[in-house]
Structure 1
Amino acid sequence: MRNSDSLSGYPLLHDYQLEEMWRTPQPIHPSQAKRGREGWNWRQRVQYAVGHALNEYFGMEVEVRREVPVQYVLEKWWPKQANGFESLFHYWDIKNKVSGELSKICALNKDLLTPVMLYEQFCTPVPELKVDISLIVQAAWQLSAGADSLLIQKYMVDYNPNVIHTFQHLTNVFCHYAFGALPQLIEVYCLLDGKKVRFVPGPASLQQSLDYVQLLRDSRDDVHRSTARCRCGNCMGQQRSRDNGTTKNKKEEQESKNRKERSFGPVLFS
């Protein structure tokens, strides 16, 4: 496990890139993309604020954290302008919902003391799949002395089942190869929806997660090949015509694998 990019020579799977792949399946041409935060949408701006606020909040001494409202910390990081939001009303509505949900979550998690990992990026090789995984761990807590006692938490702006399943399987594979054991518990908080998705890894979880990550690796390669092509209407039409049969077969294959993977589904708590 390393706090840096891969040095193994394997292809590198970044968790945040895979999340973007699910959220925006159509690649954006470099000439259309704005650099830095200037091109962020409202979800990205909210996620940035939430990430920094929780990093600061959970990084406090336990005694201090219990006296400081998380809303106070969030206020320091929240966007000062409504740029990127649908309207001023939307800006305030999102702020109130996120602030209220974070307050409830932190109140429920008061028994968690000092995180063992807090907004750190790690990379670990997965020789079995000939790939490296780069994972940002937002918050991890050790529930007991064993290596298999980790509680891994993720905080998302809104509910997206594909992003959640990707995080679940990446986390399982990452923990197995980095620490030699699956986590005890994975929790994903969806702030705008007020949902908590909880995964308790079982005996079959590792193989299911390896299958899923292998599928992600192959899908990522397909996306990279597609992005490298010209995406004008004429070229895209010609490419669709050439690849129609192959794409159909791959889609059916992928749907079959997804149905198998979904046999280990999430447990939802409101």
Structure 2
Amino acid sequence: MRGSNSLSGFPLLQDYQLEEMWRRPQPGHPSLAARGREGWNWRQRVQYAVGHALNEYFGMEVEVRREVPVQYVLEKWWPRQPNSFESLFHYWDVKNKVTGELSKICAFNKDLLVPVMLYEQFCTSVPELKVDISLIVQAAWQLSAGADSLLIQKYIVDYNPNVIHTFQHLTNVFCHYAFGALPQLIEVYCLLEGKKISFIPGPSSLRQSLDYVQLLRDSSEDVHGRTERCRCGGCIEQQLSQDSSTTRDKKGEQEAKSRKERLFGPLLFS
């Protein structure tokens, strides 16, 4: 299960690549990650700092963690120069907002003790869809005994609905095939907005997530297989919409419409 390489020879969907795709600002924009860290934009630099700070903070002994402010840990990883930020004011504004929000989140979650997964990358095969998925689990906590008691958390710099939906559905499918059960709760923290989005998987969640991952797989294969077409997130989103209205089960246009409504249903905000 662990590792980033494809397990079965099926196409591989990797969460961080999908996230970069959704955030890609312009058609044909080259991958910033491919240029190395010196080519990162401000959002990528902040995400890097947040990831390392939380990995260090949640990895501490519980007694130590309660005595060490998370902002102290974040300071160690925060970009030293305002390079790639829009201005010096933007640099300090983002830093203050992210620091304040992480402090509130960690105070609120002080009852969570030892994570069962912490910034680990996993790969699992989904034979039903003939695809492998690779997922980076930032933090996962076991709320009680049993595989269905997982709380899985994701921390992102700013709100992006496509990134959040993709993470939700990939997580549902991953947990079902890796652990045999859906998570009890999925939480996504959007740091600049101070927003927490919670998903509570229900009886129909797996089917919805499998449908979404299948559409994502098919759309990615189609777009990446045609060099004359754009590979940005906007075009993938358009292709997802087209695919969802012409589903392959041939059960009619009304069923395709219902599927789309289920896939992009309401989010639970707290």
How does the TM-score come out when normalised to structure 2? 0.87
- Residue of structure 1 in register with 2:29 after alignment: 28
Q: What's the CA shift for 1:222?
A: 2.5
| 2:213 counterpart letter in structure 1 | V
- Residue of structure 2 in register with 1:235 after alignment: none
| SS in structure 2 at match of 1:189 | strand
Question: Cα–Cα, structure 1 residues 249 and 135, in superposed 2: closer, same or farther, change >3 Å?
Answer: closer
- Residue of structure 1 in register with 2:76 after alignment: 76
Q: What's the CA shift for 1:252?
A: 5.0
Alignment check: 8 A CA contact 2:215 2:244 kept: no
Question: Cα–Cα, structure 1 residues 66 and 130, in superposed 2: closer, same or farther, change >3 Å?
Answer: same
**Cα distance in 2, alignment partners of residues 158 and 16 from structure 1:** 15
- Residue of structure 2 in register with 1:164 after alignment: 164
- Residue of structure 2 in register with 1:207 after alignment: 207
Unaligned segments of structure 2, at least 5 residues: 231-238, 248-255
Q: What's the CA shift for 1:230?
A: 8.5
**Cα distance in 1, alignment partners of residues 262 and 161 from structure 2:** 16
Q: What's the CA shift for 1:220?
A: 1.2
Once the two structures are superposed, the pairs formed by residues 44-123 of structure 1 within 5 Å of their partners are 44-123=44-123
Percent sequence identity over matched residues? Answer: 77
| SS in structure 1 at match of 2:8 | coil
Alignment check: 8 A CA contact 2:155 2:190 kept: yes
**Cα distance in 1, alignment partners of residues 123 and 131 from structure 2:** 11
- Residue of structure 1 in register with 2:262 after alignment: 260
How does the TM-score come out when normalised to structure 1? 0.87
Question: Cα–Cα, structure 1 residues 34 and 128, in superposed 2: closer, same or farther, change >3 Å?
Answer: closer
**Cα distance in 1, alignment partners of residues 51 and 168 from structure 2:** 19
| 2:29 counterpart letter in structure 1 | I
Q: What's the CA shift for 1:135?
A: 0.1
- Residue of structure 1 in register with 2:5 after alignment: 5
CA shift digits 1:24-69 (9 cap, x unpaired): 1623247x98610111111000000000000000000000000000
CA shift digits 1:122-143 (9 cap, x unpaired): 0000000000000000000000
- Number of matched pairs: 252
Q: What's the CA shift for 1:196?
A: 0.3
Q: Which is further off, 156-165 or 19-28? A: 19-28
**Cα distance in 2, alignment partners of residues 253 and 203 from structure 1:** 25
**Cα distance in 1, alignment partners of residues 6 and 240 from structure 2:** 31
- Residue of structure 2 in register with 1:192 after alignment: 192
Q: CA RMSD in A?
A: 2.2
CA shift digits 1:82-106 (9 cap, x unpaired): 1110000000000000000000000
CA shift digits 1:161-207 (9 cap, x unpaired): 11101000000000000000000000000000000000000000000
Question: Cα–Cα, structure 1 residues 251 and 202, in superposed 2: closer, same or farther, change >3 Å?
Answer: closer
**Cα distance in 2, alignment partners of residues 247 and 262 from structure 1:** 11
Q: What's the CA shift for 1:223?
A: 2.9
| SS in structure 1 at match of 2:121 | strand
**Cα distance in 1, alignment partners of residues 211 and 160 from structure 2:** 20
**Cα distance in 1, alignment partners of residues 87 and 121 from structure 2:** 34
- Residue of structure 2 in register with 1:238 after alignment: none
Question: Cα–Cα, structure 1 residues 208 and 250, in superposed 2: closer, same or farther, change >3 Å?
Answer: closer
- Residue of structure 2 in register with 1:149 after alignment: 149
| SS in structure 2 at match of 1:148 | helix
Alignment check: 8 A CA contact 2:120 2:136 kept: yes
Unaligned segments of structure 1, at least 5 residues: 232-245
Question: Cα–Cα, structure 1 residues 177 and 72, in superposed 2: closer, same or farther, change >3 Å?
Answer: same
**Cα distance in 1, alignment partners of residues 57 and 133 from structure 2:** 27
**Cα distance in 1, alignment partners of residues 83 and 180 from structure 2:** 45
